[in-house]
Structure 1
Amino acid sequence: MPPDPDSFLALARSSPWRWTTLHLAHRSGFAGECEAWVRRPGELLVRDSEGRLHRASGLPYTRGTLMVFTAEGSPRPVPVPSHRSVLPHQVTPPLRPDGLVEWRPDRFDLDYDDPMYVSYRWVAMLDPVELSHHVAVDRLRADVVAGRPAWRADLRALPGYDPRCGGNCCELLDSEAGMRADLDDDEELPPSWRGRDHPDHYDVALDVQTGVVVRCLPVGGPDDAPWLENDILEVDTDLDELFDRPGTTPPAR
């Protein structure tokens, strides 16, 4: 069946349940060219363009402090209780008839993120839930990217767009909506952000099997607008030796 906008949005929220290991070739304005291996949960190996290996483990979420206001109105910090992380593969989300995720469980102890390399855009491309709502989907079509089926569309961020790390930082869709993501509704843009030029939209392709972003290319706007490309080489292959034996190096491609 050809995709429709609702299917595209559902695919963008489904990545945590559609793969466990990934081998990809990456190119972007923030990370350059590299080759990467990911094993969920929380394992990443990257070989950069100079052949250096970078290992990362753990999840790049942050913890905050709960502020309680007393009767006098002065804030008092209260430590947030520690918790045992629950991972996506340990819960079952409600699924649509096509097998895509209808909505994602939202609970404080459920940690979705993959390990980060260079920027939170890396985290967002592997699990592009920020593209699953408050985006306009136009010119949607089936495509083939690096020999694999993909769904491709022109995307524009709408008010309410909620990037993994926004506020003029690491959003996938460079836009005013992305800049405003970390501001209160009535808060003005900082003076240094005003008048900034953004792409008209982004040409975005999602790999059908995994839900991973394989193309995110700006159309219009400044020459230095953020962009990224991924060629997926392998999905759900056995990477245990690569990650369980730290001295093991991946073969050259």
Structure 2
Amino acid sequence: MLKKRIIPAIDVTNDQAVKYVQFRNPTVIGDPAELGRNYAEQGADEILYLDTTASLHSQDVKYEWIRRVAEELYIPFSVVGGIRTIDDFKRVLRAGADKVGVNTAAVKKPELLTEAANIFGSQCVVLALDAKPIKDDDGEIIRWEVYTHSAHESSGMDAIEWACRAEELGAGEIVCTSIDRDGMKNGYDIELLRSLTKTVNIPIIASGGAGNMAHILEAFKDGLVDAALVASLLHYGELTVMDIKKYLSQHDVPIRYHSI
């Protein structure tokens, strides 16, 4: 059985690590490289860095902080945000990242996923899927809609249909963030995650909403995800990665322990 992954998520803006709530109101929490090294030492399987402003403001990727992260980390890390072209993929990978994630650029130009997969391999092509529920008059969810530009703009696309197409185009895994739950600590959107994991065959990474260890367990047991992103619980010192892994192991979730 494949081991499940715990992946700390670190938002970066202006070369600083920050924490957002629903993609807004950032609070500075430290240095990206130092935070990443700390989580690696706690036993993280990977680190995911998100530049949540690059797409929104059409900024170029800043490579210096990526190089500093690469110098500090001995585990894989991904960079998401601001990647628009194959050259951007190339530069981020050359700066030291192991995977590259795209959202807005892939929605605008879906063939970018195929081009990147053909050149670099699907294993390093990550689709960042930011979704919001669309409800009927009775408050029932009828579908989830894809948002771009750091969750500020609706694409009008159905999230499940887009995930299926992205897999066909060459994405190697999907990081799915429930926008309404991001930073709220009230649990992942299990219905959304289950819909994805039962539809596509590539790994799904849960993002947005972990408020306690039971939420993370629920993502694995009920959402059937392959990995879980965790941010607030770690950033504010409520838990360590090892706390989470021990809890999951006690509840029969297969996890990997790293020797440091």
The TM-score normalised by the length of structure 1 is 0.30
Higher RCO (CA 8 Å, separation ≥ 6 residues): 1
State the structure with more CA Rg: 1
The TM-score normalised by the length of structure 2 is 0.30
More helix by share: 2
